[in-house]
Chains A and B, each alone.
Chain A
């Protein structure tokens, strides 16, 4: 009889029981999903992005459905790091899964202070640094789109953070694999990609944009082929693990990302539609491994079979 498939993966120094996590901003702070998912079956929970001070976010309407996807312009509304530590961490410590905290700042100084603060909190296993929200003002967008600024902010956070550091990259750049190398060079332990693609939608009757913010971030199955291509491109340029995300709904979607080069995956928009989907995806990956005779999930990372080794 074949051995039980091993789903364990390492993201730098962080070991996950399986490669499936929630994508930041789609899973709240975990507690809202406890009713629908056995959280202990997940590789990790990645919480909604936090800042030093609470943020109100953008005015409504904030979301609009598009074909096989959705646009959002939430604007990083969050309860702030202090409230998170006080009100949400006690629950997260009981979840028997890894806790990854997504965070951002409005300046390099704020990023550093946030990373320092979160590093000393018991029960947080890793940090995911958001430099790629498409709904922030122009002066902020440079954190994820100007390689010099990206290097500076990631380096500064790297020095301050005592936990494994994941950098979440923007797809809204000319060459994401270059940005991936910049983040690696600046000391990132792993990369998350992709964040949402900037998009918009217009109501033809009123001629108004469907979002109050005019533009928003596109997510869902509509972006999966783009995300997959970006993971594949980055995998061939960096040596640190990649967490792949963008439109994953099924375990086959997740396996595609792993074959393209992801060590782990994050599930986002699908949580809104099927609140129990993350756990289903873990089960589906296990079934796939058993039927394909794969003993360790790590054997699948980057195992895409290409006829030509195009560079």
Chain B
């Protein structure tokens, strides 16, 4: 199936505080993305901004798909101004997604800030496992989709930096306390997405408790298909491309 396609904006809804939910209808049938896959979206047809922007799949609804994004710069600002009926050039789905957990494994999801975007797709794909979601944001206003996760049967643990919602502090510490108390009775597998600092702390935790885990990495990229070599991250096996070998990597593989 063609991975170069056009899609019509069905809805571009402001959720809260610079966070938007974009629903797109592809003009042609596209390959169903796996959780952790991403799309490159051209926010303009002109020369500035020049490059497409990568967004992970948030939700797939009967052939339409949703991207959840935060306005952080020029590209996402323009994207936030798109109206229903606007048509966007898109490339995807791209990259390697999250592998499915083993049959007997409990699932822990960890999201920091906008890292919640791919976690929704992941939670939905394994909802029969009643995953636990550890979700940290700066403040109450940034906490998204709580009801959606709950109605899916996800057990949510929330923390905010300022304590305005859930536990005050870092979500990795919340997870650490949980693990220490629970002593990992069942074998767990962890899936995470969020800021580099959070992922780095998680990798420390994973090695301390010998947890299996996968993390979705982010990096500036130009092509999304493995040729510009712009998006590499340092791994134990040398530089690897976020767009091709990633964006999902085994947590122990990344060098921080």
Contact yes or no, A56 B239, CB < 8 A: yes
Is B229's CB under 8 angstroms from A271's CB?
Answer: no
> Quick one: which of B176-229 are within 8 Å of A by CB?
219-223, 225-229
Inside 8 A of B42's CB, which chain A residues have their CB?
A: 273
Give complex CA distance A33, B239 in Å.
21
Evaluate whether A27 and B227 lie within 8 angstroms (CB atoms) in the complex, with A60-B233, A68-B48, A70-B50 already known.
yes
Is B50 in contact with A57, judged by CB distance below 8 angstroms? no
Instruction: Tell me the total A-B contact number using a CB cutoff of 8 A.
Output: 89
Nearest neighbor of A28 in chain B, beta-carbon distance? B227
Task: Using CB atoms, name the residue of chain A closest to B49.
Answer: A65
Q: Is the CB of B229 within 8 A of A65?
A: no
Asked whether B230 lies within 8 Å of A62 as measured between CB atoms, the reply is yes
Interface SS of B by simple majority: loop
A36 touches B238 (CB 8 A): no
In the complex, which residues 37-76 of chain A have their Cβ closer than 8 Å to any Cβ of chain B? 48, 56-57, 59-65, 67-70, 72, 74
A26 within 8 A of B: yes
How far apart sit A26 and B232, CA to CA, in the bound complex (Å)?
A: 15
Residues of A within 8 A of B50 (CB): 65, 68-70, 220-221, 269, 273
**Pairs across A and B, CB under 8 Å, 13 listed:** A36-B4, A56-B239, A60-B232, A62-B232, A64-B220, A65-B49, A65-B220, A68-B47, A68-B48, A70-B222, A77-B229, A272-B223, A273-B52
Question: B residues engaging A (CB < 8 A)?
Answer: 3-4, 42, 47-52, 91, 219-223, 225-234, 238-239
Give the one of B223, B226, B227 with max A CB within 10 A: B227
Most buried by A among B47, B51, B222, B232: B222
CA distance A35 to B42 in the complex (A): 19
Q: Does A249 contact B (CB under 8 A)?
A: yes
Nearest-Cβ distance from residue B75 to partner chain A, whole angstroms: 8
CA distance A27 to B227 in the complex (A): 6
| A276 on interface, CB distance cutoff 8 Å | yes
Query: Is the beta-carbon distance between A275 and B230 smaller than 8 angstroms?
Result: no
A249 vs B239: C-alpha distance when bound (angstroms): 29
Q: How far is the CB of B231 from chain A (nearest CB, A)?
A: 7
With A35-B3, A36-B4, A275-B4: A65-B226 Cβ-Cβ less than 8 Å: no
Q: Are A63 and B230 in contact (CB under 8 A)?
A: yes
By a CB distance below 8 angstroms, the chain A residues around B227 are 26-28, 32-33, 48, 271-272
Chain A residues contacting B226 (CB-CB under 8 Å) are 28, 32
Interface size on A, residues (CB 8 A): 34
Residues of A within 8 A of B233 (CB): 60
Instruction: Give complex CA distance A32, B226 in Å.
Output: 7
Give chain B nearest CB distance to A139 CB in angstroms. Answer: 23
**Which of A35, A62, A69, A221 contacts B229, CB < 8 Å?**
A62
Set of chain A residues within 8 Å of B49, measured between Cβ atoms:
65
Residues of A within 8 A of B231 (CB): 60, 62-63
B-facing mask of A261-273, CB < 8 A → 1, else 0?
0000000010111
Q: Do B228 and A72 touch across chains, with their CB atoms under 8 A apart?
A: yes
Find chain A residues with CB under 8 A from B220 CB: 61-65
A65 and B225 in contact, given A35-B3, A276-B4 (Cβ under 8 angstroms): no
From A48, A67, A74, A273, contact of B230 by CB (8 A): A74
B3 contacts which chain A residues (CB < 8 A)? 35-36
Asked whether A275 lies within 8 Å of B232 as measured between CB atoms, the reply is no
In the complex, what distance in Å separates the CA atom of A309 from the CA atom of B19? 58
Which chain B residue has the least Cβ–Cβ distance from A270?
B50
Known A-B contacts A273-B52, A275-B223; the reply to A249 vs B230 at CB < 8 A is: no
- Give chain A nearest CB distance to B110 CB in angstroms: 23
CA distance A269 to B3 in the complex (A): 19
Q: Are A272 and B51 in contact (CB under 8 A)?
A: yes
B225 contacts which of A48, A57, A74, A275 (Cβ < 8 Å)? Answer: A275
Chain A residues near B219: list those with CB within 8 A. Answer: 60-61
Which single member of A60, A77, A249, A272 contacts B234 (CB below 8 Å)? A60
Given A36-B4, A61-B220, A220-B50, also A26-B228 (CB < 8 A): yes
- Report B89 CB to chain A, min CB distance, Å: 8
Given contacts A57-B232, A221-B47, A271-B223, 4 further A-B contacts (CB under 8 A): A63-B221, A72-B230, A269-B50, A275-B91
Q: How far is the CB of A128 from chain B (nearest CB, A)?
A: 17
Closest chain B residue to A224 by CB distance?
B47
In the bound complex, CA of A22 to CA of B226 (Å): 15
Q: Which residues of B contact A275 (CB under 8 A)?
A: 4, 91, 223, 225
Question: Once the chains are docked, how many angstroms separate the CA of A284 from the CA of B97?
Answer: 37
* Alpha-carbon distance between A72 and B221 when the two chains are bound, in angstroms: 10
CA distance A202 to B178 in the complex (A): 41
Residues of B near A249 (CB, < 8 A) are 47
Nearest-CB residue, chain B, relative to A22: B227
Chain A residue at minimum C-beta to C-beta distance from B75: A65
- What distance in Å separates the Cβ of A227 from its nearest Cβ neighbour in chain B? 15
Minimal beta-carbon separation of B173 from chain A (angstroms): 25
CA distance A293 to B3 in the complex (A): 36
Contact A57 B229 (CB under 8 A): yes
How many Å lie between the Cα of A220 and that of B127 in the bound state?
Answer: 45
CB distance from A33 to the nearest CB of B (A): 7
Say yes or no: A272-B47 contact (C-beta < 8 A), given A36-B4, A56-B239: no
